[in-house]
Structure 1
Amino acid sequence: MMKKSMKYIAFMSALFLLSCSSEINEKELDGFNYVIGTQTVGAKYKFTDETNLVETAKAIRGMGSNLLKFSLSPRYYWENYDIPYDENIKCLKDLAQEKSVKEVLDMDFKYYQIWSYEFSQYTQEPEGQKKDEYQIKFIDGLSDEYAEKSYKEIYDLASYLLKTYSGTGKVFFLGNWEGDWHLRWDYNRKKPANPKTIEGMIRWINTRQKAIDDAKRDTPHNDIQLYHYLELNLSDLAVRGEVCVTNSVLPYTNTDYVSFSSYSATNPPSTEEEMDSVLTKHLDYIESKIPAKETIKGKRLFIGEYGWNEAAYLQEVIDERAKWVMKTALKWGCPFVLFWEMYNNELTEDGSNRGFWLIDKYNKKTPLYYTHQNFYKESRTWVKEYYEKNGKMPSHDEFVEAAVGFNSLN
């Protein structure tokens, strides 16, 4: 009788474990990297009393995305977001604790990509003017003084994030906006880049990377990841072998990841086949310039920006072209593919919106908004069914192989 009871207990235990293994943990489902996403910087309108940072973050989460890309910089109160100016905010760590910023950092996003520009490198622009050379100090070279200030500010921000969000499972990426416009801060792509500025940018990138590495070494933390990335953009110059961030800066850095603001590869193609060919060529070329890093597995190059405005294409055409980009980037292996952006940030000379948006100025959702939303629904369903069948989460490659065939992308 005892033997039968023991066998029964063992049988029921096995059944219990089997049933548990077939039910996916919601946190795992919410935290899976679904690759496709968007971002919010400098929205020119809003529909609530919340700051546009909080409002757009909620809109992105409501669409189904678990990734938020936004900006931390001294321009927080006038150019990037409508966060009230606070004279006590003197560095990135201070800004990360500001009410609206803390609210979005505390939200249930898994992934954060953050343009991080040091207050210590910033010179206030003339009122109403955005001059990118005012937020960097490596033009003609980066001095010891500014390198030390950059290191400390990034180190302090990284330490704060590691301490504050330890145990949450969040993944942070700190990086920069389009680096090729830092090399050519006058926006003259035909003008040769200054060798001293190239040296200065290399030092700046490596200084920031070291600050993050040292903060991770020095700060006790668990179940949180923090990385640094370098963003580049003029890939057409790169594939022609000309001086640019890809050829002249990237190979001499130790950056964790590389972000590709991909307009030079994704705007010219007029067919899906051409998009696949051109974008793949540019991704392959950029990847060939990334120094090896054994501590990080998988692809380290992602698309930080792509997109078109409503003045250039009908929204139905933008939706179609975006699907081309998504499928090519997924097949290639990009860990992230981010559309520019949730709310429009650019105005024409007459003050009208250019139409870089997933939700327009009338609070109307575009076809591409619904493509994103449906993709997340399909993705979650597929991941859940995979787990129920296999008792484990799918790999990135397994997910991508399935995702390129989802109805939402075809």
Structure 2
Amino acid sequence: MQAYSDQVTGSDGAAVDDAQGFGRSKAVMSYNTLLGSTIIGPSYKFTSDPSSLEGAKVMAASGARVHKFSVDNWLDTARTRRPASLLEAVTQSQQRYVDVLDQPMDRFVFWAYPVTDAIYQEFYDLATFLIKRYAGTGKSFFIGHWEGDWAIRDNYKDPIMPGRVEYWTHKLSEVQRAIDTAKADAADLVNGGAGVRVWGYAEVNRVLTAMGNSSYPAFINQIVPNINPPIDFISYSNWEIEEAQQRSADEIGTVLGDALDFINCHLPPKPCVPEPRVFVGEFGYFLRNNNCTAADAPPVKAGQGPHMDTTSEIIKQRTLWHAASAIAWGSPMNLYWELYSNEKGTDAKGQRCDKGYWLVNDQGQDEPVFAALKAYYSAADAFVRRHARAHGGAAPDINAFRRWAVAKLADLTGYVGVAPPKVRELDPAAALIAGGH
């Protein structure tokens, strides 16, 4: 299989630049604009492409630079043929995952699970494939899993199932060891500004419960501290932050920031990994409840009422504010759930409805939130280009971009009388370790 960099930049992997100099430099074209989306298990699609590929193409065309999907351990769409390995699932499936990864985006976050008990070998082979195929592109790949707290218990009130802590600690240790070794074995392809980056991550989702009860065993306090070697990143699937869409916008930033701090405190240090090492792997808002009635609209200010029905415009506002709050803390990736809705409800007559976790609805129309994200991507690209032209080709540092991003998202939200989230300063050097996020 031809190296991807040979296909898009020439055999020497040289970055493409335009005649004006800095407008299309690698630093500009691959700059992390911090906000993307997901396509996993959608209930509809519009082309003959597999849903993961269709979604990646849509997000790439929107201007997004980070995208999330899931690798299904079947070779065919009918789900009748199992692959012999995870690598075969990625490279030989009718889902065309290599075509997904070939899309013109710079960061891919995906769930991946071993096919056999040979966890280390499966993830070593996958990491090695990614490193060799995408050498010279500067692409980053984040390999992880779905919400860990639901992997160790069926319900947050239930005790952890026997053996689950030991299994997940062992599994993630093997995954991370495999990734670290694969990178060490191909250091010449990993290091440098255009080096390919492969990272491991674990995902947590019951953080507020653990924060409120020090004796509550959760993925963040039972497994994450014991992964050896330490996991590179932690994803926070933070549906609990939204509290069934009842928490106000002016409360979101504080609660989310406290949760991200708590996660960060349980993540063992690891050299040669860019910081922060905690990102928001899932967040989103929905239009309809399970019974297809309109969901309550989240309040803008604490104590504000009465509640109204959620609308597409309200979802746009709340999504942008949530993203601004996460970026203000320092989350390096923030992934909206999702491009096409994946959940349905049933009304009193037995009729099914999409719950409305979407950027593009089931009629193929862009929702207001997607129009706003496209406007953000376009403005972010213009901001980075202007900075590069004014500073000899240098992209803005992470703090300058985050200040711009939070202000832009707050402006797109259109809230009145609510102060934008306060942007905390990060260490720019720490954010650029190993080439950055």
- Tell me which residue corresponds to 2:259: 282
Question: Normalized per residue, which structure has more helix?
Answer: 1
Q: How does 1:293-312 map to 2 (within 5 A)?
A: 293-311=270-288, 312=295
Gap change, CA 1:108 and 1:20, over 3 Å in 2? closer
Q: Does 1:235 align with 2:223?
A: no
Matched residue, 1:314:
311
1:270 alignment partner in structure 2: 247
User: d(CA) in 1 for partners of 2:402 and 2:331?
Assistant: 10
Q: Give the deviation of 1:409 after TM superposition.
A: 4.5
Quick one: which amino acid aligns to residue 177 of structure 1? W
Say if 1:409 and 1:395 are closer, same or farther in 2 by CA, change over 3 A: farther
Partner of 2:321: 324
Match of 1:129 in 2: none
Match of 1:203 in 2: 170
Q: CA separation in 2, counterparts of 1:304 and 1:75?
A: 24
Contact map agreement 2:75 2:82 (CA 8 A) in 1: no
Evaluate the alpha carbon distance shift between residue 73 and residue 305 of structure 1 in structure 2; reply closer, same or farther with a 3 A threshold.
same
Map 1:87-166 onto structure 2 (within 5 A): 87=81, 89-98=83-92, 100-120=96-116, 146=117, 149-166=118-135
CA apart distance, 1:199: 2.0
Partner of 2:32 in structure 1?
Answer: 33
**Pairing partner for 1:342 from 339, 343, 355:** 339
Contact 2:75 2:81 survives alignment (8 Å): no
**1:40 and 1:343 in contact (8 A); partners too:** yes
Contact 2:74 2:83 in 1 (8 A): no
CA 1:354–1:269: 2 relative to 1, 3 Å: closer
Q: Tell whether the 8 Å contact from 1:331 to 1:404 is kept in structure 2 after alignment.
A: yes
**How far apart, CA to CA, are the structure 1 residues paired with 2:325 and 2:234?**
18
Structure 2, gaps ≥5 residues long? 1-17, 289-294, 296-309, 415-437
Does residue 244 (structure 1) correspond to residue 241 (structure 2)? The answer is no
Per-residue deviation, residues 68-113 of structure 1 (Å, max 9, x unmatched):
2111132575xxxxx4557373221112213521211112111010
> Residue 372 of structure 1 corresponds to which residue in structure 2?
373
Asked whether 1:291 is paired with 2:268, we answer yes
Note closer, same or farther for the CA distance 1:104–1:356 as it changes in structure 2 (3 Å cut): same
The 1:76/1:369 distance shift into structure 2, 3 A limit, reads farther
Q: Return the alpha-carbon distance in structure 2 between the equivalents of residues 26 and 373 of structure 1.
A: 21
**Residues 375-390 of structure 1 aligned to structure 2 (within 5 Å):** 375-390=376-391
User: What is the deviation of 1:404?
Assistant: 0.9
1:217 alignment partner, one of 170, 175, 184: 184
**Mapped partners of 1:102, 1:166: distance in 2:** 14
My pick for the range that moved more, 289-298 or 202-211, is: 289-298
1:400 to 399, 402, 406: 402
Question: TM-score if structure 2 supplies the norm length?
Answer: 0.78
Supply the distance in 1 between the matched residues of 2:103 and 2:356 (Cα, whole angstroms).
Answer: 27
Which of 147, 156, 175 is the equivalent residue of 1:178?
A: 147
What corresponds to 1:131 in structure 2?
none
Compared with structure 1, are the counterparts of its residues 76 and 190 closer, same or farther at alpha carbon in structure 2 (3 Å cutoff)?
Answer: farther
Deviations 1:185-214, CA, capped at 9 Å, x for gaps: xx2211121463212211111111001111
Q: Give the corresponding residue for 1:258.
A: 234
Q: Which residue of 2 aligns with 1:356?
A: 357
Shift, 1:62, TM fit: 1.5
Q: Is the 8 A contact 2:316 2:413 kept in 1?
A: no
Percent pairwise identity: 29
> Aligned partner of 2:164: which letter?
T
Match of residue 4 from structure 1: none
Offset at residue 22 of structure 1 (A) = 6.3
Aligned to 1:56: 55
Q: How many residues are aligned here?
A: 358
Give secondary structure in 2 for the equivalent of 1:358: coil
Aligned to 1:9: none
The residue type equivalent to 1:89 in the other structure is: P
- Post-superposition CA distance 1:224-264 (Å, at most 9, x none): 00000000101122212211011111111210000000001
Cα distance, 1:381 vs structure 2: 0.9
Displacement after TM superposition at 1:274 (Å): 0.8
Structure 1 unmatched ranges of 5 or more:
1-18, 78-82, 121-145
**8 Å CA contact 1:73, 1:92 repeated in 2:** no
Checking the alignment, whether the CA contact within 8 Å between 2:236 and 2:281 is kept in structure 1 is: yes
Give the CA RMSD over aligned residues.
2.0
Give the TM-score, by structure 1 length.
Answer: 0.83
Distance 1:344 1:21 in 2: 41
